[in-house]
Amino acid sequence: MRRSALYSSSRPGRLSEASPAADTAPVATAPATVQPSRFSASNPRVLWAAIGLLAVLLAFTLSLSLRPGQRRLTQEDINAAVLKTMETQVLPSEYARAYDKISPSVVRVISYVKKSRLKDEKDVKNARLAPRPKALGPAAGSESGAGDDDEVEQGVGTGVVIVDKGVILTNLHVVSGADRIKVIFSDGLESVATVSGVQPENDLAVLQARTIPDDMIAATMRSTSDLAPGDKVLVVGFPFGIGPSASGGIVSGLQRVFRSPEGKQEMKNLIQFDAAANPGNSGGPLVTMDGELVGIVTAILNPTSARTFLGIGFAVPIENAAAAAGQPPF
């Protein structure tokens, strides 16, 4: 069965209905004549157009035959390109990428007390130099940054912005008993802050900054449900007032219990990590390699009076910490 052409620009010729010769021609002696179509080969224009089209097709076919065949891309080609890029381009480490993401949300927290609340000059000196009576107390301070001569710096710690309206999580022991609290954002902006909530069982405080940067960036919080021992983590803060400083390590364990050296407080369900943390890291973020917040640094284990890092730190899971700020659970 014949199939009609899908693309055709001409129609078959018809017998001329107007020709008298067609009516009188003997059927048996000669076939009927067909009037030439305007698209027939006898038309010079059509003939030259056909010749031109044929020439174009011939030239195109010849060019294809002379073109070298394109080689198919293989996995070896991809691997070689990746290796070449790694050799010629310096890529940031996982820790560097995590730091870049979390650092805009990290703040320095400084608390002050009035000298008039202290008994004598000896107490003033001790307030400046003595370590705080917490597992991870703030670094030794000075009067620099105090609002007036009647104030003395009580503690230095770290905080992390979790809501871009200036809501900050930190440790309660950093700001406990303070007459004034100051926070310094990553861009250098300083602001007075007030305590808007506390969670004493986890040594957490929620601060509200009075002034915030125009481009404030809040940390991205991540559930700890898939966190596992061996996962890489990063700690960012102001150890001994130096910073912001970053230290890397891994998750050492989950659901740990920590009792303060004084034995007055016991915290449960903590994340154990081995990234270096020292006085001044209190309240800082514990983040994954994606730069996502999974915990708030709150304590270190050191049985000596130095209370410096020996390899065991603890953080409150972000689910518990966010609850202190009224954030919904994951």
Catalytic residues: 173, 203, 282
- Reading the block at residue 6, the tokens are 């899908």
Of 118, 182, 172, give the one whose Cα is nearest residue 144. 182
H-helix or E-strand spanning residue 129? helix 121-129
DSSP 69: P
CB distance 206 to 324 below 8 Å:
yes
CB distance 179 to 151 below 8 Å:
yes
Dihedral angle computed from the Cα positions of residues 57, 60, 65 and 70, in that order, rounded to the nearest 10 degrees: -140
Give the three-state DSSP class for 326: coil
Distance of CA 191 to the CA centre of its chain: 26
- Residue 57 makes CB contacts below 8 A (sequence gap 6+) with none
Of 162, 143, 141, 163, give the one whose Cα is nearest residue 152. 143
- Reading the block at residue 284, the tokens are 């800082």
Residue 321 Ramachandran class (φ > 0 left, ψ -120 to 50 alpha, else beta): alpha
Of 315, 285, 286, 310, give the one whose Cα is nearest residue 298. 315
H-helix or E-strand spanning residue 98? helix 94-102
